[in-house]
Amino acid sequence: MLKVEHLTKVYPNGTVALKDVSFTVNDGEFLVIIGLSGSGKSTLLRCINRLIDPTEGRILLDDADVTKASSGDLRQLRRHIGMVFQQFNLVKRSSVMTNVLSGRLGYVNPFLSLAGIWSRADRDRALKALDRVGIKDKAYERADALSGGQQQRVGIARTLMQEPRLILADEPVASLDPVLSHSILQYLEQLNKEGITVLCSLHFLDLVHRYATRVIALKDGVKVFEGLPKEINRAKFKEIYGEEAQEVRATTVEEG
Amino acid sequence: MATKAPSPQADRSPIVAGLLSLILPGLGQVYGRQQYRGGVIFISELLAVLTAVWYKVPAWYAAPAIIWIWNVWDAVGAARGRLRSTLLPIAAALIMGYGIGWQITNIDLPALTRNSHRAAMILAPMLRPDFLSQVEVTNTAWAPVEVPCGPNPPASTNTINGITVTISPNCGKLNDALTLQASGLWPNTETLIQWSTPIGDRLPLGKGFITALYVPADAQGNLNVVIHVSPNALTAAPDPTLPLEHRVYLTQSHPQAAMQLSKNGAYVVDGIIQTLFLAFMSTTLGALLAVPFSFLAARNLMGGNPLTLSVYFIVRTILNILRSIEPLIIAIIFVVIVGLGPFAGMIAITLHTIAALGKLYSEVIEGIDPGPLEAIRATGGNWLQMVRYAVIPQIVPPFASFTLFRWDINVRTSTIIGFVGGGGIGFYLYQWIIKGDFRAVSSSFIAIAIIVIILDYVSARVRSRLV
């Protein structure tokens, strides 16, 4: 469904974040991107929905060229691409409900949304999304009153409002403790099984083994590995993360 | 001293270092590779000497002398690779500083008790704030007198409210005796007799012309008394030789069992209302105008290219300068331009508010979390939706909180802006202080305190909910 061709991103200060990266994501995959901090994972994910404009290369989403889309077309494309962030990116002072509803902004009448008016159907949809992530009872609390794990679940509920076909998850569990990491990734896994393609960057290798259907590794903006999780052996690990690297496990608790 | 001194090395001659510092304080330390220390010592010594010279008190030369001697000892130490304690020169400088400070501020503690009679003159009336007064029913009448005598003095008999007042003779010069007769007054009631000049000044006619003259009416309501033309009757007359009509007033009053706002009490209420609305208008106007400035003064919005960055620096500088000038001083200028009154005060406070809030708002804008902006863009929202759902929720509560706090400050400022003619309660307060009407001063103090305490409380409560 997603085809990335020769993607290169050079920032104005000269930093080369991505260098000639190409890969394909098939429908229904849970593709994980690994690599050190600064290897270009976030830049890659943000190029896909053009929060960052790539310097060169093409991104095709079901044959629609994201890189050439006009701003109106781009908003149409973004509606179907959900995004989950490391820092959750919620408006902390707003209610959980408002944060979730904001996921629907691409669909609704812009004038009504500016006035803060939401249809009954959208409100019901938001409550249903919160119910799915198990925090319906928190709907009218302020977002910053929630714990980190709960905030990330609000983030997932917000993407659900988009009725996404693809979810981009940028280090969704890096700010959470190991047990919460599993619960968040299990929500993503569940959505993936229901047919939503997931493209996710992760730090911990044991999480990669547990959730990924396929893996891409980036090093200094270059794709250095593409394959199945089990193919990442000790030698590959050293190649991706460098000679001094030691594997740190997110958790030894295996959940089923 | 944040700068870290390089670690001393013991490779310089202590004698040379000592001699150098004896000639010029700090030089020996520079020679001993303690450039920063040497610089600080030189500047401190220079300031100490200049201060002692300026204040011409011989004793103060002790401080620079101590620092000079210490500096020689320190230079020798520096050359040997040892840093000496700075306690002694700092103590010498501080003793000098506090000593001169004591002299300059003219601290005179006995003055607090020496003038107790003056304190009593002010404090005693302040214990009886002039806010309410007893309702009185009055009975009043007057008759004309010409001062000095002209060719055609007015008829000196006058009947008002059934009271007939006669003065004979019906003209005179200062201090002349006049016979005052009246009939038809309330019987057996004290009657206040006052002189009234052509411009309406009421002068007392009692002992020494400083106390009020009260004379009782008899059982028939008649009154007969000799009064003297007040020696102050011509004080405001443009030409003392011109015969003008003065009046003698008779006033009787019966107090009633009811209270009303006194004349000054009404002024206090009027002044407080003026002050509150002055602060309200200037805070609102200032806050509205501060918003565009705050965007121009936010580095994260203006840092993009050299042009916007220079706008940022210019706006910042203007705001900084404007903020450093007290509204009282700005008001003096606008009183000259637009005239006395609340409008001048409003402009002054508004300008100060723009500067103060502009800076605070811009810091809020600089501190917003870019994450939610990114999240809204990622959902397919447009620019306006991003502002509505990601920017406004982040900036409105702190903006509102700062604005409320500013209103609180502005109320305080507008209570004194009247001292320079900027309107509000301060305008009345200033005049009462000059007139020595300390009962009215006291009631305006109380009114200001009540308003400030209430606002303080309300704004703190509301702000704690916003943040």
Q: Do A104 and B377 touch (CB under 8 A)?
A: no
Asked whether residue A132 falls in the same domain as residue A215, the answer is no
**Shared-domain flag, residues A118 and A190:** no
Interchain CB contact of B99 with A (< 8 Å): no
B416 in contact with A at a CB cutoff of 8 Å?
no
What is the Cα–Cα distance from B266 to B268, expressed in whole angstroms?
A: 5
Indicate whether A141 and A245 sit together in one domain.
no
What's at B47, amino acid-wise?
A: L
Q: How far is B411 from chain A (nearest CA, A)?
A: 29
Same structural domain for residues A73 and A181?
Answer: yes
Please indicate, yes or no, whether residues A50 and A107 belong to a single structural domain of this protein.
no
**Cα B44 from Cα B21, distance rounded (Å):** 14
Comparing C-alpha atoms, which of A220, A208, A217 is closest to residue A248? Answer: A208
Q: Is residue A12 situated within a structural domain?
A: yes
Query: What are the structural domains, with CATH classification, of chain B?
Result: 14-104 (no CATH), 132-260 (2.60.40), 264-466 (1.10.3720.10)
Q: Give the domain extent around A154.
A: 94-163
Residues A254 and A180 in one domain: yes
Distances A131 to A134, A138, A139, A157, A193 between C-alpha atoms, Å: 5, 10, 9, 9, 18
User: Are residue A106 and residue A170 in the same domain, yes or no?
Assistant: no
B305 touches chain A (CB under 8 A): no
pLDDT at A187 over 90: yes
Is the bond into B148 cis (omega within 30 degrees of 0)?
yes
What pLDDT, on a 0 to 100 scale, did the predictor assign at position B12? 82
Clarify whether residues A58 and A33 are in a common domain. yes
CATH number of residue A226's parent domain: 3.40.50.300
β-pairing, A56-61 with A64-65?
antiparallel
Distance in angstroms (rounded) separating the CA atoms of residues B30 and B4: 15
Q: Residues A149, A155, A157, A163: is their CA dihedral positive or negative?
A: negative
pLDDT of residue A157: 96
Q: What is the pLDDT of residue B9?
A: 63
Number of structural domains found in chain A: 2
Looking at the predicted structure, is the pLDDT value of residue A49 above 50?
A: yes
Query: With 80 as the cut, is the pLDDT of residue A243 above it?
Result: no
- Nearest beta carbon to residue A75 from set B369, B380, B393: B380
Whether residue A172 lies inside any domain: the answer is: yes
Could you tell me which residue, A209 or A251, shows the higher pLDDT?
A209
- Is residue A87 a part of any domain in this protein? no
Q: What is the DSSP string of A194-210?
A: TT-EEEEE-S-HHHHHH
* Same domain, yes or no: A23 and A69: yes
Closest to A159 (Cα-Cα) out of A51, A242, A79, A76:
A79
| Residue A20 and residue A138 in one domain | no
Q: pLDDT digits over B173-186, tens only?
A: 888 999 999 999 99
The mean predicted confidence, pLDDT, of chain A is: 90
Residue A86 lies in a domain: no
For residue B298, give the amino acid letter.
A
Q: Which of A111, A135, A163 marks a domain boundary?
A: A163
Residue A229 falls within a domain, yes or no? yes
In degrees, rounded to 5, the angle at the alpha carbon of residue B406 between the alpha carbons of residues B402 and B408 is 120
Final residue of a structural domain among A163, A186, A204: A163
Contact assignment for B397 to A76 by CB distance below 8 Å = no
Widest distance between CA atoms in chain B: 114
Q: Which residues pair with A215 in a beta bridge?
A: A32, A227
Residue B114, helix vs strand vs coil: helix
Nearest by CB to residue A83, choosing from B378, B382, B384, is B378
Question: Mean per-residue pLDDT for A237-243?
Answer: 79
The predicted-structure confidence for B396-440, as pLDDT tens digits, reads as follows 889 999 999 999 899 989 988 999 988 899 999 999 999 889 999
Amino acid B154: pLDDT: 80
What does each of the 467 residues of chain B score in pLDDT, given as a tens digit? 344 455 556 678 888 999 999 999 999 988 888 889 999 999 999 999 998 888 888 888 888 999 999 999 999 988 888 888 889 999 998 998 898 888 888 888 888 888 888 888 889 999 999 888 888 888 899 999 998 888 888 887 888 888 999 998 888 888 899 999 999 999 999 999 999 998 888 999 988 888 899 999 999 999 999 999 988 888 877 788 888 889 999 999 888 888 888 999 999 999 999 999 999 999 999 999 999 999 888 887 777 678 888 999 999 999 999 999 999 999 999 999 999 989 999 999 999 999 999 999 999 998 999 999 999 999 998 888 988 999 889 998 899 999 999 998 999 899 889 999 888 999 999 999 998 899 999 999 999 999 999 998 998 888 888 76
Residue A85 maps to a domain: no
Structure tokens at B352: 């100060």
pLDDT at B7: 54
